[in-house]
Structure 1
Amino acid sequence: MENIKLNEFSLEATPNQTLSLEAFKGRYSVIYFYPKDNTPGCTQEGQDFSELHPEFLKLNAQIFGVSKDSLKQHQNFKQKYAFPFELISDPDEQLCKMFDVIKLKKNFGKEYYGIERSSFLLDPELNPIQAWRKVKVTGHAQAVLDCLKQNV
């Protein structure tokens, strides 16, 4: 498993709360990083995690979505699709850097740094169980749930 070094942080999250490392303790945590609210892949990924959310809850797991979008954008995105989990706003890339998800990307011939779609499963003591990099949305939420079931 990757060596992820979690440091203390303080970030805004839906609904108007501030989260720190403490938010991930005591339960299994799925932290999924996605590029941007209201884009097709990111919307589908959120909907897939939403659909499986009750099964994650049964296994004492919480889900957090993370992108660089503002809290206001997150609140609108969450409300529009009725996501049952919280979205974390990381405009300064605090969490993104801890999980090493900022990568050089190319789009229409332009290079830029952005979030590489990635997910992480942490145990209740914040130990990483599994990391998924360069995620393809289709079937991903189910793969995360299957991994959780094997580790609970």
Structure 2
Amino acid sequence: MSGQELQEGAAAPDFTMPASGGRTVSLAALKGQPVLLYFYPKADTPGCTKQACGLQEALPQLGRLGLTVIGISPDKLPPIEKFAQKFGLEFPLASDPDHKVAEAYGTWVEKSMYGRKYMGMERSSFLVDAEGKVARIWRKVKPEAHAAQVLEAARQLAG
């Protein structure tokens, strides 16, 4: 885990990852348009499903604002593909099994469940502006409210 936490206004770390639908996602390839990177713990779990479906529902509005959405989890591609197909998720879901991208964004953190500590994905999102800088950061995201928060921030970014 990197010692410093990514701040708003900082350059967003670049990446290239395999994603659902046989796609490859790269931040550099999206330069010139805003991007929402959302990190989620595990495909097809209740919170992650709520969050993904909320974003899918908001996708037409987000698209009109020029925003690209990319979901990132430590899952391998087969469960990600299954999740995307099951819920009709059109935006790319990227696979970060070695959590290199999550570490670059500070979302691979120590968690605790029933007193046991382990490393895992923190549900966090980053709104990256057209210049590749982090415009907004949401940590410990509430899945139900997230799409509305993103839509509001994307509207502000679009001016």
Q: Same fold (TM over 0.5)?
A: yes
Q: Spell out, residue by residue over 1:31-88, the C-alpha distance to the aligned partner (whole angstroms, 9 max, x if none).
A: 1000000100000000000110000000000100000001111111000000120000
Asked if the contact 1:118/1:135 (under 8 Å) is kept, the reply is yes
Residue identity matched to 1:42: C
Residue identity matched to 2:19: A
The TM-score normalised by the length of structure 2 is 0.89
Equivalent residues in 2 for 1:50-129, closer than 5 Å:
50-129=56-135
> Offset of 1:7 from its aligned partner?
4.2
Structure 2 unaligned regions, length at least 5: 1-6
Structure 1 unaligned regions, length at least 5: none
Deviates further, 45-54 or 106-115: 106-115
Q: Secondary structure at the match of 1:103?
A: strand
Asked if the contact 1:12/1:89 (under 8 Å) is kept, the reply is yes
Identity of aligned residues (%): 38
Distance in 2 (alpha carbons) for counterparts of 1:49 and 1:109: 32
Distance in 2 (alpha carbons) for counterparts of 1:59 and 1:7: 23
RMSD: 1.4
The TM-score normalised by the length of structure 1 is 0.93
* Alignment size in residue pairs: 152
2:157 equivalent in structure 1: 151
Distance in 2 (alpha carbons) for counterparts of 1:4 and 1:65: 20
Residue identity matched to 1:93: H
Q: Secondary structure at the match of 2:135?
A: strand
Residue identity matched to 1:70: K
